[in-house]
Structure 1
Amino acid sequence: MPKPLSAPPFRHAHDREIFRLAVPTFFALVSEPLFLLTDSAVVGRLGTEALGGLGVASQVLMTLANLCIFLAYGTTSAVARRFGAGDVGSGIRNGVDGLWLAVLIGIGVIAVGWPLSPWLVSALGASADITPHALTYLRISLLSTPALLVIMAGTGVLRGLQNARTPLVVAVASNLANIVLCVTFVLGLGWGIAGSAWATVIAQTAGAAVYVAIVVRAARRHGVSLAPSASGLRSSVAAGFALFVRTVSLRVVLVVTTAVAARLGDPEIAAHQVAFQLWSLLVFAMDAIAIAGQAIIGRHLGSSDVPGARAATRRMVEWGVMAGLLFAAVVLLVRPWAPLLFTADPEVSDLILGALLVVAALQPVSGVVMVLDGILMGAGDQRYLAWASFWTMLAHLPFAALVLWATPEDSTFGLMGLWLAFGVWMLARGLTLGLRASGRAWLVTGATRP
């Protein structure tokens, strides 16, 4: 009888562990955008105004999710350290506090976001026809904010415990539930765009309930109180604030780059959208290795295994470089035909072809940056990450402004110049992260990081 399929044989000692954590994480990450993709497919049947309203509201919700991602990242590193030190109970304690923080932030977001919803929709330029749909979707979806943030924190707990399979199962199950409910509410019951929002609320609430049940069961097994800890909440807030600064700095770079592309001209912003989405997709895949790095490095440092942390870091950087080289080859391979999928405009096609050359060249750098970012997160080096992200953001802004200032109206170099400026930012991130990783300051051992 043939043996069941399993992970492929690996030559390096750390490969199996990286594979075990990165592959389920990758598929869990891929499943998350399917929430809004499903909504778009179903809501699109309601008409242009409803689909436009979904697009506007989704931007608000996606920005919120990105800004609160620290709930997953900070919890992963804290729990992984405790796990590595053999103190699983304290790791669960960190997880319980993370869930409480998620609930408190979620309630605060609802309290602030509900009255501000009209202003947020208007700030994104929604027309009079689109605004009612956007408001309906946004206000209903805001009710799921505590559940969304609990899912982030719960995911961080399980990844810190070196469990990447359960988050994958929960993500896939939630997405399937969302598909069924969305079709039923919107097309079956005729609830319109409100039905799509309620489907997401119910699916995310069910996913959050699963994580709460898992953490509660683990807490009872290890004798951990379910009440919030004041010291634990303060620690989570401190780590979360640093990661929040990091995330805001990254978002500023992306927003400024898009704004410059828009000011270069309509063909430039259209081509930039295509190139940026391809770059984002590939970085998204590399993020799976980075998240695996958070769990692995946190465990090694928690067990005071500095040589193991060093060896795992080297191997994950090698994985990042190999993934980057592979993705660079893929981009160059599909580049001649890529514009055909998005536009029939010859000018836009030429701009896409030029930008994709830079996208391909950036892939190995992106691989190293993503991996080192995850490794330093796993080490709990959030303060350094915050400052490094802030200063590299400031370094990028003059180059982006220079592109806008130096590009004449009839130039075809503008968009490629903008992507080269974006590459300067990526290189600056690689330099700051690489210098930190090559030193010893981040190698703080023990169950907690002072």
Structure 2
Amino acid sequence: MPASRRVSDDRVPLREVLRLAAPALPVLAAEPLYLLVDTAVVGRLGVVPLAGLAIAGVLFAQVTSQLNFLSYGTTARAARLHGAGRRTEAVAEGGQATWLALAVGLVLLVVGQLVAVPVATAFAGDGEIADAAVSWLRVALFGAPLILVTLAGNGWMRGVQDTVRPLRYVLAGNGLSAVLCPVLVHGVGWGLPGSAAANVTGQALGAGLFLLALRRERGFRRPDLATMRAQLVLGRDLIARSLAFQACFLSAAAVAARFGAASVAAHQIVLQLWFFMALVLDAVAIAAQALVGAALGSGAVARARALAGQVTRYGLVLGVGFGVLFAALIGVLPPVFTGDATVLALVPVAWWFFVAMQPVAGVVFALDGVLLGAGDAAFLRTSTLAAAVLGFLPLIWASLVFGWGLAGIWTGLSLFMLVRLVAVGLRTRSGRWAVSGAVRPS
């Protein structure tokens, strides 16, 4: 068979990538959009409840977001089994991840209740804000097992290349929360705890739908300690990688704050746009995870490598498009977030770094999806930690010492992305990630 024909056979149609990526994007965006609704509702209660929500929300999100291996790790493992034609076992992988989610979630619930007061006080100090944060956390913690079940459900469904049902389930849960939030906060008069109660109710609906789907596909089996141990090993690497991201972004915010309120406000505006852009690119990465995992599970290594090349090009095109778009919007978009002249004067310092990094980010996020789909989490952990330690963090803290301001902070972010680009690019080119089989050898 001619080489050109083999290459053509290994290509995945763009519509197949879009079939998985398009429903994944609203799922990724649902939580940030709901948080905006929640913030607007609570904001009408006054400054103290809003400040309490800000503290409690950040604390809760930091804990639950570190456990996203229940989604990404489960996708990688389930996709391989699905690609090998073992759908029943792929769904069962989701069942084991769900058992793990319930166990970890219950631990979080108990420990969270025990430490809610000291942790909130440590962040907010003694007084009304800490009390408000604790009142929200006490209720919201009951949603921890439910959130983790949803993460596991997203994981196995993406693994079997179904991103439509997660979209329905997540939107149903978030929609219910959005409707209940103003009713419970203002109508019933529960105040800030009403916001948390609305969250838990919506999370219960979403988790219940995922559990029902798992039961219908007979994915619940007895807990298998060996499978859960393998999931935890993969989770360990992904948690370490996530912690590296958190260390970078928290350090950047802390250093920006040292340069004054205007600097941290300008930094926050551009950083939130960066996170928004990441949502779109993560949708492509999720499609890459499912398709690459399935290809390797079926033994189609050439197809997996061809996919890596395809999604790299898609990521680059998206990144260039974002760069052009945001470059054109520099005079339009920042005033939407603030009318403060001092802040607007500082935004361009970070903005042009942000624009320049779009093509790099497009490629990096796409290749992250490829390597996650291959289960190459150990490499991603090590390379991300190296990029943080060698790239981002030294420049961040040097910016504080030498007074480089936002230019230094965003130079650090740019170096962080460039180090990651080199690392994932070389890894993908080497082909060492493309290990075939229904289960990746440890």
Residue number among 425, 431, 436 corresponding to 2:422 in the alignment: 431
TM-score, structure 1 normalization: 0.93
Distance 1:25 1:355 in 2: 29
Partner of 2:207: 208
Residue number among 294, 312, 317 corresponding to 2:312 in the alignment: 317
Map 1:35-434 to 2 at 5 A: 35-125=34-124, 128-219=127-218, 226-395=221-390, 396-407=392-403, 414-434=405-425
Contact 2:395 2:408 in 1 (8 A): no
The C-alpha deviation readout for 1:404-434, integer Å capped at 9, x for no partner, is 2222xxxxx5212210111000100111111
Deviation at 1:328, TM superposition (A): 0.6
Contact 2:305 2:431 in 1 (8 A): no
Distance 2:279 2:396 in 1: 24
Deviation at 1:260, TM superposition (A): 1.5
Partner of 1:446: 437
Contact 2:312 2:367 in 1 (8 A): yes
Distance 1:446 1:118 in 2: 48
Amino acid at match of 2:352: L
Distance 2:51 2:261 in 1: 20
Amino acid at match of 2:385: F
Distance 1:180 1:347 in 2: 38
Name the SS of the counterpart of 2:431 in structure 1. coil
Deviation at 1:238, TM superposition (A): 0.8
Name the SS of the counterpart of 2:438 in structure 1. coil
The C-alpha deviation readout for 1:291-314, integer Å capped at 9, x for no partner, is 111111100100111111111111
Deviation at 1:389, TM superposition (A): 1.3
Amino acid at match of 1:376: L
Partner of 2:4: none
Contact 2:214 2:220 in 1 (8 A): no
Larger displacement relative to structure 2 (87-96 or 137-146): 87-96
The C-alpha deviation readout for 1:93-152, integer Å capped at 9, x for no partner, is 211110011011101111211111112212322561222221111110001100000000
Name the SS of the counterpart of 1:335 in structure 2. coil
Distance 2:43 2:347 in 1: 27
Deviation at 1:52, TM superposition (A): 1.3
Contact 1:290 1:374 in 2 (8 A): yes
Runs (5+) with no aligned partner, structure 1:
1-11, 408-412
Contact 2:185 2:192 in 1 (8 A): yes
Deviation at 1:239, TM superposition (A): 0.8
Distance 2:184 2:409 in 1: 44
Name the SS of the counterpart of 1:190 in structure 2. coil
Amino acid at match of 1:244: I
Contact 1:36 1:58 in 2 (8 A): no
Contact 2:256 2:263 in 1 (8 A): yes
Contact 1:216 1:226 in 2 (8 A): no
Name the SS of the counterpart of 2:190 in structure 1. coil
The C-alpha deviation readout for 1:346-395, integer Å capped at 9, x for no partner, is 33212101211110000011111111111101000111111111111111
Distance 2:205 2:332 in 1: 42
TM-score, structure 2 normalization: 0.94
- Give the direction of change, closer, same or farther, for the CA distance of 1:346–1:39 in structure 2 (3 Å limit): closer
Contact 1:70 1:244 in 2 (8 A): yes
Name the SS of the counterpart of 1:162 in structure 2. coil
Distance 1:127 1:275 in 2: 32
Runs (5+) with no aligned partner, structure 2:
1-10
Deviation at 1:173, TM superposition (A): 0.9
Larger displacement relative to structure 2 (183-192 or 322-331): 183-192
Distance 2:42 2:329 in 1: 31
Instruction: State percent identity of aligned pairs.
Output: 36
Amino acid at match of 1:29: L
Partner of 1:9: none
Amino acid at match of 1:105: V
Distance 1:217 1:303 in 2: 25
Distance 1:368 1:390 in 2: 19
Name the SS of the counterpart of 1:32 in structure 2. helix
Distance 1:344 1:27 in 2: 30
Contact 1:114 1:139 in 2 (8 A): yes
Larger displacement relative to structure 2 (161-170 or 131-140): 131-140
